[in-house]
Amino acid sequence: MQTDKMDNILTDILKDIETRYPVDTILVDGKQVWPLLRAEYALHHIKYTFNKWGEVVPVENKFHRLIRAINNSSYGFVNWFRHYDYIAISDTLERRNIDGEFWNKLLDPIIDCIGADKVLLIENPIPWHYPAGKVHTRHVASMDMLMLAIAYQFAIPYGLEIENQALLESIKKEYTLKINDKRAIKWRLALEAVYRHLFNRFRPKAILLSDSYGPNLSAIKAAKALRIPVIEFQHGWIGKEHPAYNVHIELDKYCFPDYLLAFGKNDIEVFENSLFIKPQNVIPIGSFYIEYLKRNHKKDPVLVDRISNYRRSVGISLATGTEQRTIDFVSQTALIDEGILHILIPRTYSAERYGSLNLPKNVIVIEDKNFHETMLYVDFHATVLSSCALEAPSLGVQNILVNFDNLSRQYYGTILHDSRITRYADTPGEFVEIINTFEKLDRETICLLSEDFIATNYEANIKHFIRDHSAFLL
């Protein structure tokens, strides 16, 4: 039976499974399929846990998803018919407005370095694409076009035989998971077939990715089968507790990237003795967007004036799975001390979702600024699990992590342990006390103390990587 401990420790599931079950022996046509399923199992377990907490994890209606995919699929359609030396794969969540253009903050800088006309970016719309005339990337096509992969499913025998399927049934029973394994495997194999067809056609020198799990796993497998190097760019938190990056049993190496361009040198330590990637192939490059904002952002005088009416201010990053609990927590802390301004930062603002919240007067929801921009105004940053906890110090802001069920300490305790930079609060009262007593360091000092998390000199680092790997990047 699943224990209360497992309800709280979201990321232990894959370690638990992979150290207790011989999942490497689960095969289809003699090939391992656990790599295709492991992220799915972790995600379902996390959603199950969030639902038990009373958090709502939105699930899109399949018919609506299909209609959206049909509408999106024409985006950048003509771009499928050019020749490219490189294929990049990312999503719209990575785009940020820079001087009126929406940049992919992870991939556009390297795309510009190797040649904008040499790269096709296949973009997953979450949920929609930005207007074609307003994106910085020169050649973008919609990943929803690859929904044609559905047609390939019919080329895979319906009676897919999974060797040792009983292991999967035992795992699902233990963790109360409802997953259609055959359907999940067929979808990923179908998508792999589509990517293999594309890569055979374009014969790219390298594949650039903003993450290596989810749908992109199929792209990695297709690329590795064709001996095409795969480079992943870190998009969020990576730690020894992250289920996608911590592998506990020897698995098919065709499922993992060749290089990981990471935020900082701390990430190299995550992969010591790793079964995911060799630590020497983890290259710290820093963050293009953070360095851009620190050099160029001009403050909004209206927000500056509003914050000046309060003694201290804190920006709170909201995230799926802990959002409502965080809002409830902040509503309590705001009533304890009305001299503190709390700024809620949604991942994506929705007037329908956030406009109707009944919040204390010293709690506002930011509508027109993202997390990175908001950090340039506030005294402190707060979150439960968001990877913003790693980025805030690089913008000169100290953290106060809301430690629901010890989750924050579990995720970040071994990384964010410098009490000059990060404190942990278990209760609303403790949260307010920390805000009022936390010694504020100047932003430059905070940035210096956090250089191991996010390296500096992004532009030089990326050019250095390209030069050292000129065999397939020039």
Name the percent of the chain lying above pLDDT 90. Answer: 78
Q: Who's near 359: CB < 8 A, 6+ residues apart?
A: 327, 331, 334, 344, 365
Distances (CA, A) of 317 to 15, 314, 380: 28, 10, 11
Q: How would you write 377-389 as a 3-class SS string?
A: CCCEEEECCCCHH
Output helix, strand, coil percentages for the chain, rounded to the nearest 5. 45, 15, 40
Task: Name the β-bridge partners of 363.
Answer: 342
Axis-axis angle for helices 288-296, 458-468 (nearest 10):
150
- pLDDT for 2: 30
Q: How confident is the model at residue 160 (pLDDT cuts 50, 70, 90)?
A: confident
Q: How confident is the model at residue 41 (pLDDT cuts 50, 70, 90)?
A: very high
- Nearest of 293, 274, 271 to residue 282 by alpha carbon: 271
- C-alpha–C-alpha distance, residues 325 and 340, integer Å: 19
- Fold adopted by 1-286+455-474: Rossmann fold (3.40.50)
Is residue 86 within 8 Å of residue 201, measured between CB atoms? no
> Is 43 in a helix, a strand, or coil?
helix
- Is the pLDDT at 98 greater than 50? The verdict is yes
- DSSP β-ladder status, 119-124 and 140-142: parallel
The structure's pTM equals 0.93
Burial class (CB in 10 A: 0-12, 13-18, 19+), 349: middle
Q: How confident is the model at residue 419 (pLDDT cuts 50, 70, 90)?
A: very high
Q: 65 versus 376: which is more confidently predicted?
A: 376
- pLDDT for 152: 61
- pLDDT for 12: 73
Is residue 283 within 8 Å of residue 261, measured between CB atoms? yes
Letter string b/e over residues 375-395, b meaning 16 or more CB atoms within 10 A of that residue's CB: bbbbbbbbbbbbbbbbbbbbb
Is residue 314 within 8 Å of residue 342, measured between CB atoms? yes
Domains 1-286+455-474 and 294-449 share a fold: yes
- pLDDT for 11: 54
- pLDDT for 154: 61
- C-alpha–C-alpha distance, residues 178 and 457, integer Å: 46
- C-alpha–C-alpha distance, residues 474 and 468, integer Å: 10
- pLDDT for 410: 86
Peptide bond before residue 301 is cis, with ω within 30 degrees of 0:
no
- Is the pLDDT at 370 greater than 60? The verdict is yes
- pLDDT for 155: 63
Tell me how far apart the terminal alpha carbons of the chain are, to the nearest angstrom. 54
- C-alpha–C-alpha distance, residues 274 and 245, integer Å: 9
What CATH number belongs to 294-449? Answer: 3.40.50.2000
How many other C-beta atoms lie within 10 A of the C-beta of residue 114? 17
Q: Is 10 left (phi over 0), alpha (psi -120 to 50) or beta?
A: alpha
- Nearest of 230, 215, 216 to residue 260 by alpha carbon: 230
pLDDT per residue as tens digits for the range 322-364: 999 999 999 999 999 999 999 999 988 888 889 889 999 999 9
- Residue ranges per domain, the chain? 1-286+455-474, 294-449
- Is the pLDDT at 5 greater than 50? The verdict is no
